Structure 1
Amino acid sequence: MSMSIRHATMADLDAIASIESACFPQAEAATKDEFVKRIQYYGNHFWLLIDENQIVSFVDGFVTNQKDLCDVMYEVASMHDEAGQWQMIFGLNTLPSYRNKGCATHLMEQVIRDAKSQNRKGLVLTCKDALVSYYAKFGFRDEGISDKSVHGGVCWHQMRLTFRE
């Protein structure tokens, strides 16, 4: 794959917000204002996949010592703790025209490598039923239906990839 990966800056805000709205229903999508805060607090935990100067996919999420992903994390970017043990994944977004081409996989593999190299305990995400098997192929274990996330009024599975206990 000849695409490149880099971290987010404020210059990427409009493209990120646009991709998010193409990937999630309004009740689940982060707002542009939330992305402003996320980029301010943890732009280095936004991985952008670039194809010919266009962002086509991104992953974002902060780092924390909290073991489980909870809804407040989506709204309060200041909860980010660079020294935290767990890399949270709040979203894996790929433009519809770039889906099923390996973009998301390429990006997730980089996020996992980076979390490992930063000596995190692992990564945590929530996903809908249909994506449990997708994340399992990266080594994520399904911990069942989350009791801490009802984001957007949806039923979410919490999944964890653990490097070390």
Structure 2
Amino acid sequence: MIFDNYTIRSARPEDTHRCFEIETVSYQGEEAATCEKIAKRITTYPDGFMVIEIDGQIIGFINSGSCDQVIMSDESFKELIGHDPNGKHNVIMSVVVHPDFQGKSISSILMHNYILRMRKLQKESIYLMCSEQNIALYEKFGFRYQKESDSSHGGMSWHEMVLSL
């Protein structure tokens, strides 16, 4: 099912609690960002925090930071320590869709629009970490597998991927 009545935009501070709600129902335990982290990501780098709405309700989002040197296992980057909005590389922290809307191509719509935005911002690449089950999904968008990550964020095993823009 493809939706044609959606809106894509940068997140605003008033979106914090809805984004936190989606994050906590979609991710397990410590894998989810805190409300404070989400608020900081929205205010610090709105170009890297894209939401998708249907009928005025946020149903998913992507958030990120940018830098010139990417170290995927650096947990402090999730606090945007080392973030530079003009950095040539973009690092995605979350790609999340509310469970009620999963399996309906929402993440594909988000990712396509996000990649276009990063190209417009003249980023050279987009990095992300994902679970093993999502490697094939990101390969469909052109991401290349790099390696198993040194990160054990949330007590899970992660895999690093990169998309050259």
TM normalised by structure 2 equals: 0.94
Deviation at 1:44, TM superposition (A): 2.2
Task: Confirm or deny that 1:128 pairs with 2:116.
Answer: no
Name the SS of the counterpart of 2:160 in structure 1.
Answer: strand
Task: Confirm or deny that 1:56 pairs with 2:63.
Answer: no
Q: Which amino acid aligns with 1:72?
A: S
CA–CA distance in structure 1, aligned partners of residues 26 and 130 of structure 2: 13
Does the 8 Å contact 2:60/2:98 carry over to 1?
yes
Task: Confirm or deny that 1:99 pairs with 2:124.
Answer: no
TM normalised by structure 1 equals: 0.94
CA–CA distance in structure 1, aligned partners of residues 82 and 10 of structure 2: 19
61-70 vs 121-130, greater mean Cα deviation: 61-70
CA–CA distance in structure 2, aligned partners of residues 12 and 117 of structure 1: 24
Unmatched segments (≥5 aa) in structure 1: none
CA–CA distance in structure 1, aligned partners of residues 140 and 71 of structure 2: 21
| Counterpart residue number, 2:22 | 19
| Counterpart residue number, 1:73 | 77
Percentage of pairs with the same residue: 29
Deviation at 1:129, TM superposition (A): 0.4
Unmatched segments (≥5 aa) in structure 2: none
| Counterpart residue number, 2:140 | 137
Name the SS of the counterpart of 1:97 in structure 2.
Answer: helix
Name the SS of the counterpart of 1:47 in structure 2.
Answer: strand
Q: Which amino acid aligns with 1:152?
A: G
Deviations 1:26-80 (A, max 9, x none): 2110000111211121122111000001000100001111223232211x22432
CA–CA distance in structure 2, aligned partners of residues 79 and 54 of structure 1: 32
CA–CA distance in structure 2, aligned partners of residues 6 and 49 of structure 1: 7
Name the SS of the counterpart of 1:90 in structure 2.
Answer: strand
CA–CA distance in structure 2, aligned partners of residues 129 and 137 of structure 1: 14
Q: Which amino acid aligns with 1:159?
A: M
CA root-mean-square deviation: 1.1
Q: Give the 4+ runs in structure 1 shifted more than 6 A.
A: none
1:39 pairs with one of 18, 39, 42: 42
CA–CA distance in structure 2, aligned partners of residues 94 and 44 of structure 1: 19
The number of residues matched between the two structures is 161
